[in-house]
Amino acid sequence: MNNQENNNHSAANSSPQHRPQIRRIVPQQPSASPQNSGVKPRQAFSAIPGQSTGQRGTVTALRIMQMDCPVEENLITGKLSPMDGVIDLQFDLMQRILTVTHQPQALEPVLQAIRSLGFDPQLPDQVSEQADHPAPAPRYWPLALAGVLAVGAEMLNWLGVPPLWQAVVAIVAILLSGLKTYKKGWIAVKNANLNINALMSVAVTGALLLKQWPEAAMVMVLFNIAEVIEAKALDRARNAIDTLLKLAPEWMTVLQADNSWQAMQPADVALEAIVRVRPGEKIGLDGVIVSGNSTVNQSAITGESLPIEKKTDDQVFAGTLNESGTFDYRVTSVARETTLARIIRSVESARASKAPTQRFVDQFSRIYTPVIFILAIAVAVIPPLFFDGAWQQWIYNALVMLVIACPCALVISTPVTLVSSLTAAARMGILIKGGVYLEQGRKLRWLALDKTGTLTHGKPEVTEVISDEETTQQQMILVAASLSSYSDHPMSQAVTRFAQDASLLPVTDFVSVTGQGITGKTPAGQFWLGNRRLLQDQGIDLTPFSRRFEELERQGKTLVLLGDSDGLRATFALADTVKQSSRQAIEELHQLGVKTLLLSGDNPFAVEEIARQVGIDQARAEQLPADKLQAIETFSRQGVTGMAGDGINDAPALARADIGFAMGMAGTDTAIETADVALMDDDLRKIPAFVRLSRRTGWILTQNISLALIIKAVFLSLTLFGVGTLWMAVFADVGASLLVVANGLRILRTTK
């Protein structure tokens, strides 16, 4: 209406094939016993999306539990890419998921090819079956015994025991700890791939041939111990999103047709069902309270630190915690479409996408490993041939370089950091849809903002109605309220509320004119309700009312005009209030060096007043969607530009901006789906929080990449000077991986 754009609600939802299945593990016991329901508890959330058919071919997601390093990604890529029927490969190493786009007949050959590499690909139904029957815990006693034997080999060497006994103890230690490494290494060598298992196998075998028995055993044991520790650390990053998945309860108390209450799982609860929530229980699905009141802790979804008072007609979200009272609510979203489910989908999708830094590191690693391998061959051959070097010493140095050559630490540093940041943001109520936006946030230079619902509360009230006669005024209020009842724009809702639940008139031929207002037919005739541009386009002369309009607008009020074929029939003056958080957000943005721009369809006086109140740098009034889009294009030439809005009219600008920010609660589905970042509690202070998180993420990415490269460079230099050892090489590879993973996980502690 008036300034902006009728925010008619969009029902845009994600396509079914991209909806993850939500499954549960352990049932929580509500007051109504779930055992009596006869329903088997579901299993935990599965990130594997399953199988679907698109325009390019069949898309199958496979979980490969043995795939947790980029070198294994390269091994699979080299095997599958040349195969007939394979169209595309997408890897999510953090979740160990390979998504294959293929011709239908190619699935079985793909599975066989993956198995030939020593991996066990699991289809979605196999993942579900495995969830029902968890794998036994790994056995660590062989590795522990191998460690004891490796230490024993070192002691035997120190005591001067004959080499034969050292060799026996060392070889047993290697067999206990390294058979899996040798098997993986042999598969890699057969497929002409140099992964860490192949490099480690060659290095340990070379050490044995050089009769370095204790060192060969200790290196293999240390490598496998470090691999276990690294896997545990990576699992923590992979499972970071589990904190979101655990928010939803197992059971809900649902009203039945016979007026009894029964425990049901969220996935089985239908729309419009009535659910009862008692103190201390979690809310299972989104809905609207129909009776009762309470305080609800929404921090897990919106990031708000304090509980929110909830009463009849207020909205509640899945995954939030009821703290005090008991209330009943009507379900408005099924399990797969709740706010929590959408957050999980977005984080999973963002986690699978590659940010610019990650793409750069991937490209670098493809060059790095073969270059180091060629350098290792040169180190083994050139000094003995041309400089009288000892063959044994320089072959040993080459083996050390082979171990250092693995780029795991370098490559894994980026996704771990990004996943940690995305999860930390979700916990704060900031939903980021991809690593690219997280990285761009630190470069944000301009932020454009909509007014109504973004800077202001979005709940304006009618303060004054002007018409010629009292009787005509009441009739026009009824007509305006009848038209506005068909729109969910804040201005429309204010006009409808002003009619105080009067019996509304029937409306036909209703049309929403984006950025201008609405029109429709009532028993009293055809009417237009909106801003001046809407009425002027219908040929209505507003010149005689210019002074009256200017007086009201100078007071910071927004005007909604009602007209028909006879001209202007009524003027509604509305006022909105600025959120206190908006002032703080603009101040924080300025402290971060981000300039602000207000783009609104409202009149210049109202826009300038709002801009003055919150401290906006620049303001533009009477902006249609096309005008907002043009403004974003103009400012984008000056640097990374963001756009924050909540309406349909903001969608073009949100899509064009380098980073689009949508109001997650007040915003329309169109705005939320279009935006790159959603603020789950409509608090603009989350934008400077996003910028700070982005800058911290960028700094940690720089630290991790620099740390990995520096460690590699130091140990390569030591090896070239003849002082490197296999022990050092193990630290340079797995030790560096552990350091960057631990450093990346630090960001999970970000809370504000």
- Distance of alpha carbon 461 from alpha carbon 476, whole angstroms: 17
Residue whose C-alpha is closest to residue 531's, from 607, 619, 610: 607
CB 686 within 8 A of CB 528: no
CB 47 within 8 A of CB 348: yes
- Distance of alpha carbon 318 from alpha carbon 282, whole angstroms: 8
Q: Supply 343's token pair.
A: 């957050």
For the four alpha carbons of 686, 680, 636 and 640, in that order, the dihedral sign comes to positive
CB 410 within 8 A of CB 368: yes
How buried is 137 (Cβ within 10 angstroms: 0-12 exposed, 13-18 middle, 19+ buried)?
exposed
How buried is 289 (Cβ within 10 angstroms: 0-12 exposed, 13-18 middle, 19+ buried)?
buried
String of b and e for 213-232 (b: at least 16 CB within 10 Å)?
A: bbbbbbbbbbbbbbbeebee
DSSP state of 634: H
Using N-to-C axis directions, what is the helix angle for 408-427 and 356-386, rounded to 10°? 160
Q: Which residues neighbour 436 within 8 Å (Cβ) at sequence distance 6 or greater?
A: 353, 355, 356
CB 622 within 8 A of CB 603: yes
How do beta strands 261-264 and 252-255 pair? antiparallel
Task: Centre a 10 Å sphere on the Cβ of residue 373 and count the other Cβ atoms it contains.
Answer: 16
**In the annotation, is 450 catalytic?**
yes
- Distance of alpha carbon 465 from alpha carbon 554, whole angstroms: 16
How buried is 390 (Cβ within 10 angstroms: 0-12 exposed, 13-18 middle, 19+ buried)?
exposed
Q: Which residues neighbour 568 within 8 Å (Cβ) at sequence distance 6 or greater?
A: 535, 540, 542, 545, 561, 562
CB 64 within 8 A of CB 114: yes
Residue whose C-alpha is closest to residue 744's, from 65, 91, 94: 94
Q: What's the number of CA atoms in the CB half-sphere (13 Å) around residue 14? A: 18
Task: Centre a 10 Å sphere on the Cβ of residue 382 and count the other Cβ atoms it contains.
Answer: 12
Task: Centre a 10 Å sphere on the Cβ of residue 388 and count the other Cβ atoms it contains.
Answer: 7
DSSP state of 666: T
Helices assigned H by DSSP within 485-572 = 490-498, 532-537, 546-554
Active-site annotation holder among 92, 450, 576, 658: 450
Task: Centre a 10 Å sphere on the Cβ of residue 749 and count the other Cβ atoms it contains.
Answer: 8
Length of the chain: 752
Active site residues: 450
